[in-house]
């Protein structure tokens, strides 16, 4: 039996997914929430960036189901067999993503190799059978290992495999999109051809054309990876020969965890304190303002650095608390989210305070007060729903900044645990390889590309969400 | 005005006390000085005697808050809290773990930090305002759209990428300026120019987008329409009216960061090997020199609060509608 492992961040991620699902169901039945989302889904940039983001989310979710595999049960002696049925588990915590990427994970080389290379990056001196020595580039153990004569065959093999991958991607695309098209056609009571024409001529409110194009692109990219990655190292290998693509994919979860969990953790404080300060004013306001001015006045990076350094001392002096390395790294990730939350809630808190001050003067609140409605009920029924758009906008806007911050913090040395896969750690270790001649550039490029696509999609999406939800910007 | 400044000054004191308490809790209560000593000396093979010696050498061998071996005033003053935290208020930062005087280091390293930060701020302001003015001039056209897309792309690139790419391109491929290092005097510009360019490019995306919204907000107002109705040229409307009014939020946004310029940029400085306060802080974090980190936290907070005060004052100077009360 495998032993499921529920890390703290996994739990929070699942909580977040549950919250999102509940919110979707809630929003479906409330027109004032549906309307802005409808606007998001009718924006071309909105759906395109949402599709890209959903691929990242999928990877992160796959990477959030953790378990430990049992070690091969060896019958050491008859005594132990009788004694207990206790199983021993590997100390390595795996996730579903690890299983999906098994070839990438296992097929390590000796050291650096360039993207799509079939030979190691550096020459090695090998002793020949006749006693002489020769320096040459040794073949990779896995990358292009199926080729007999790599120099001649590699490019045609790559082309062939890419062509197959593109065809496969398009096939899967057709398989996925035809039912969608059919469903759409049924709902509109049109024939398939008429529906297709509607989409191609962009007559639909929802930009289905963009949906089809972007998903085709994404599927082709995914299929290229699926078909090429087991045979080549698409992004090369790093110093210890680990596949860079594998590292980049594993880093997705870290980035998304930091981008989302930080806000999840800080949100209750920011919302509660902000509304309380704005609603009660007086000394409550003074105390809360004092609290956030104090926290805000400490330079963010320094507060994070101090807190993370302290946590590291604590972890190092209490090794007995953590069963595996991943649990330890996970603790540090969670703590990093918390401390990032502490440094970043003040902006939202201040916004909510100001907005609450405005709302509490509105007639319907005064009417509620006159009817003798309790403050707690006024806040939950009347004020909270009316500031939710601010919360949503700031959550979405913060996301990309947090993803970028992770890389910087890892560079400073106060980011996630060095053993955890993250783009920041990849950049940090690749930085030293810049000085090599010729340069080892692929780990750096891979980390930047993955990060760039995620942040760009998040930025575009957050713009669309802001335009849809900000009442000042809403048209008509 | 003076009364206001004095009042704000007194308002800053409880905040600084709060900052001090937070850092004190972080550094001494969560982890005992013993942990720190063990960390500094290496985790294993640490004898209690070595720990005691380290604590004595660095002044951590006293009680945290109250010393019952003394009487009177010195029972409060001969403690870690007084020595390490309260003294910060008098800007007595004490010694770093390697025995150097922190205050002296800060005074010395301030200048390279400023040599980077001030040109970055000025050049950045100039470029950002120019770009956003251009976008506002071409508003609602394809140039505007393409410009905004470009700005979003610029925003989405990690600042580390700008640094690494800039160093590679300018330093390694073109050999125009040295990749890193610093030198005082006339030759300093060689070392300053690349970090400044990278700092400007790195801040261009978000800055220009924000300024563009500010300009567009102003352009929609009545007085702009009046100015156009008078027959003013578009350029004149933009520079005489829109820019001047949009400068209020821009200037106050700049004023708030003015004092923190002293702290330098953490990442730029350490990548370019500039001996400023940013790289000082990073080195302290990496070598876990808590005395320096504590000093920088305090200094940073003081400068931030100073920035808030300057912002409030500058509001009254640029916007006559605002009165301090």
Give yes or no for A413 touching B (CB within 8 A): yes
CB-hemisphere CA count at 13 Å for A149?
3
Per-residue pLDDT of chain A (476 residues; tens, 9 = 90+): 778 888 888 899 999 999 999 999 988 888 888 888 888 998 989 999 999 999 999 999 999 888 888 876 555 555 544 455 566 777 778 888 888 888 888 877 777 888 877 777 777 777 777 777 777 777 777 777 777 777 778 888 888 889 999 999 999 999 998 898 888 888 888 888 888 888 888 888 888 888 889 999 999 999 888 888 888 888 888 888 888 889 999 999 999 999 999 988 889 989 999 999 999 888 999 999 898 888 888 888 888 887 887 787 778 777 777 777 888 888 889 989 998 988 888 889 989 999 999 888 889 998 999 999 998 999 998 899 888 888 888 888 889 989 999 988 888 778 888 888 899 998 888 877 777 777 788 888 999 999 999 999 999 999 899 888 887 765 43
- Closest Cα in chain A to B288: A309
Q: How many CB atoms lie within 10 A of CB A398?
A: 24
d(CA A391, CA A272): 12
- Closest Cα in chain B to A449: B157
Complete edge-to-edge strand list for the sheet that includes strand A3-5? A3-5, A66-70, A89-95
Higher pLDDT, B61 or A116: A116
What pLDDT shows up at residue A476? 38
ipTM of the complex, rounded to two decimals: 0.85
Cβ under 8 Å to A: B residues 276-295: 281-282, 285-286, 288, 290, 293-294
Residue A255 neighbours by CB under 8 Å, 6+ apart? A403, A406, A422, A423, A451, A454
What pLDDT shows up at residue B70? 67
Most confident of A251-255, B62-66, B92-96, B260-264: A251-255
Provide the 3-class DSSP secondary structure of residue A69: strand
A-B contacts (CB, under 8 Å): 119
Residues of chain A with pLDDT > 70, as a percent, come to 96
- Which pTM value belongs to this model? 0.89
Q: Residue B75's pLDDT band (boundaries 50, 70, 90)?
A: low
d(CA A225, CA A385): 44
Q: Which of A310, A413, A427 sits opposite B27 (nearest CB)?
A: A310
List the one residue out of A402, A453, A422, A380 whose CA is nearest residue A263. Answer: A402
Mutate which: B32, B161, B278, B299, vs A, most A CBs within 10 A: B161
d(CA B152, CA A281): 38
What pLDDT shows up at residue A139? 77
**Structure tokens belonging to residue B159:** 């600042």
Give yes or no for B311 touching A (CB within 8 A): no
β partners of residue B101: B95
**Structure tokens belonging to residue A336:** 């990093």
Give yes or no for A301 touching B (CB within 8 A): yes
Over 80: is that where the pLDDT of B219 sits? yes
Give yes or no for B305 touching A (CB within 8 A): yes
CA distances in angstroms from A372 to A51, A368, A465, listed in the order given: 48, 7, 37
Give yes or no for A449 touching B (CB within 8 A): no
What pLDDT shows up at residue B121? 93
- Closest Cα in chain B to A428: B160
Under an 8 A CB cutoff, do B15 and A455 touch?
A: no
Q: What is the pLDDT of residues A59-74, one digit of tens each?
A: 999 998 888 888 765 5
Residue B259 neighbours by CB under 8 Å, 6+ apart? B303, B304, B306, B307, B310
Mean pLDDT of B21-33: 76
A144 phi-psi bin (left φ>0, alpha ψ -120 to 50, beta other): left
Q: How far is B122 from chain A (nearest CA, A)?
A: 22
CB-hemisphere CA count at 13 Å for A434?
22
Helix (H) or strand (E) holding A173: helix A150-188
Under an 8 A CB cutoff, do B300 and A299 touch?
A: yes
What pLDDT shows up at residue A87? 67
Provide the 3-class DSSP secondary structure of residue B46: coil
List the one residue out of A265, A400, A397, A287 whose CA is nearest residue A339. Answer: A265
Q: How many CB atoms lie within 10 A of CB A144?
A: 20
CB A258 within 8 A of CB A404: no
d(CA B252, CA B178): 35
Q: Using an 8 Å CB-CB cutoff, list chain B residues near A296.
A: 304
Q: What is the pLDDT of residues A228-286, one digit of tens each?
A: 888 888 888 888 888 888 999 999 999 999 999 998 888 998 999 999 999 988 899 99
The mean of the pLDDT values for chain B is 82
d(CA A387, CA A260): 20
Mean pLDDT of B155-182: 82
Q: Angle CA(A459)–CA(A461)–CA(A463) in degrees, nearest 5?
A: 70
Residue A124 neighbours by CB under 8 Å, 6+ apart? A135, A136, A137, A138
d(CA B117, CA B269): 10
Give yes or no for B180 touching A (CB within 8 A): no
- Closest Cα in chain B to A402: B158
Give yes or no for B273 touching A (CB within 8 A): no
């Amino acid at each position: 039996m495998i032993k499921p492992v529920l890390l703290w961040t996994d739990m929070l991620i699942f909580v977040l997914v549950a919250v999102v699902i509940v919110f979707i169901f809630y929003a479906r039945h409330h027109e004032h929430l549906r309307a802005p989302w409808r606007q998001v889904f009718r924006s071309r940039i909105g759906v395109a960036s949402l599709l890209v983001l959903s691929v990242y989310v999928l990877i992160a979710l796959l990477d959030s189901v953790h378990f430990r595999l049992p070690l091969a049960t060896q019958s050491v002696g008859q005594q132990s067999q009788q004694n207990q049925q206790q199983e021993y588990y590997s100390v390595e915590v795996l996730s579903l993503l690890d299983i999906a990427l098994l070839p990438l994970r296992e097929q390590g080389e000796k050291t650096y190799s360039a993207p799509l290379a079939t030979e190691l990056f550096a020459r090695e001196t090998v002793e020949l059978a006749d006693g002489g020595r020769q320096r040459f580039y040794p073949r990779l153990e896995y990358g292009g290992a199926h080729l007999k004569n790599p120099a001649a065959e590699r490019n045609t093999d790559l082309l062939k495999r890419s062509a197959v991958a593109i065809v496969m991607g398009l096939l899967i695309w057709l398989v996925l999109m035809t039912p969608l098209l059919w469903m759409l056609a049924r709902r509109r009571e049109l024939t398939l051809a008429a529906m297709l024409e509607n989409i191609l001529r962009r007559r639909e409110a929802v930009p289905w054309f963009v949906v089809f194009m972007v998903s085709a692109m994404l599927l082709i990219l995914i299929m290229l990876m699926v078909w090429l990655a087991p045979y080549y190292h698409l992004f090369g290998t790093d110093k210890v020969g680990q596949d860079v693509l594998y590292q980049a994919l594993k880093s997705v979860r870290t980035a998304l965890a930091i981008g989302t969990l930080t806000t999840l953790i800080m949100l209750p404080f920011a919302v509660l304190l902000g509304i309380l300060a704005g609603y009660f004013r007086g000394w409550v306001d003074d105390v809360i303002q004092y609290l956030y001015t104090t926290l805000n006045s400490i330079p963010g990076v320094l507060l994070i650095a101090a807190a993370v350094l302290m946590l590291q001392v604590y972890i190092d002096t209490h090794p007995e608390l953590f069963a595996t390395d991943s649990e330890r790294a996970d603790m540090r990730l969670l703590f990093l989210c918390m401390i990032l939350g502490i440094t970043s809630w003040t902006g939202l808190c201040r916004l909510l305070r100001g907005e609450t001050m405005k709302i509490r003067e509105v007639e319907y609140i005064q009417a509620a007060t006159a009817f003798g409605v309790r403050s707690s009920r006024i806040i939950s029924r009347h004020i909270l729903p009316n500031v939710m758009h601010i919360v949503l906008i700031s959550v979405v806007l913060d996301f990309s900044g947090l993803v970028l911050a992770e890389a910087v913090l890892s560079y400073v040395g106060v980011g996630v645990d060095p053993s955890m896969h993250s783009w920041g750690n990849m950049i940090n270790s690749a930085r030293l390889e810049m000085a090599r001649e010729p340069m080892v550039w692929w780990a750096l490029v891979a980390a930047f590309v993955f990060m760039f696509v995620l942040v760009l999609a998040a930025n575009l999406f957050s713009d669309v969400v802001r335009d849809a939800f900000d009442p000042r910007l809403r048209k008509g | 005005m003076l009364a206001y400044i004095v009042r704000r000054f007194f308002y800053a004191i409880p905040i600084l006390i709060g900052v001090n308490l937070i850092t004190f809790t972080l550094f001494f209560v969560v982890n005992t000085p013993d942990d720190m000593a063990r960390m500094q000396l290496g985790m294993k093979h640490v004898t209690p005697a070595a720990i005691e010696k380290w604590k004595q050498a660095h002044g951590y061998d006293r009680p945290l808050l109250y010393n019952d071996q003394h009487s009177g005033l010195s029972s409060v003053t001969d403690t870690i809290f007084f020595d390490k935290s309260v003294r910060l208020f008098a800007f007595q930062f004490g010694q770093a773990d390697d025995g150097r005087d922190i205050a002296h280091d800060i005074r010395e390293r301030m200048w390279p930090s400023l040599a980077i930060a001030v040109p970055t701020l000025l050049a950045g302001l100039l470029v950002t305002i120019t770009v956003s003015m251009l976008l506002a001039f071409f508003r609602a056209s394809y140039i505007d759209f393409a410009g905004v897309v470009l700005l979003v792309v610029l925003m989405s690139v990690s600042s580390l990428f700008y640094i690494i790419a800039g160093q590679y391109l300018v330093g390694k491929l073109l050999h125009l300026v040295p990749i890193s290092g610093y030198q005082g005097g006339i030759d300093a510009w060689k070392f300053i120019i690349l970090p400044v360019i990278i700092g400007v490019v790195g801040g261009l995306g978000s800055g220009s987008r924000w300024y563009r919204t500010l300009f567009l907000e102003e352009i929609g107002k009545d007085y702009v329409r009046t100015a156009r109705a008078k027959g003013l040229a578009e350029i004149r409307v933009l520079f005489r009216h829109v820019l001047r009014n949009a400068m209020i939020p821009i200037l106050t946004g700049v004023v708030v960061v003015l004092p923190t310029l002293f702290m330098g940029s953490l990442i730029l400085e350490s990548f370019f090997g500039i001996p400023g306060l940013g790289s000082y802080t990073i080195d302290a974090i990496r070598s876990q020199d808590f005395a320096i980190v504590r000093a920088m936290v305090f200094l940073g907070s003081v400068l931030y609060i100073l920035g808030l005060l300057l912002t409030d004052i500058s509001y009254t100077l640029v916007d006559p509608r605002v009165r301090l009360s």
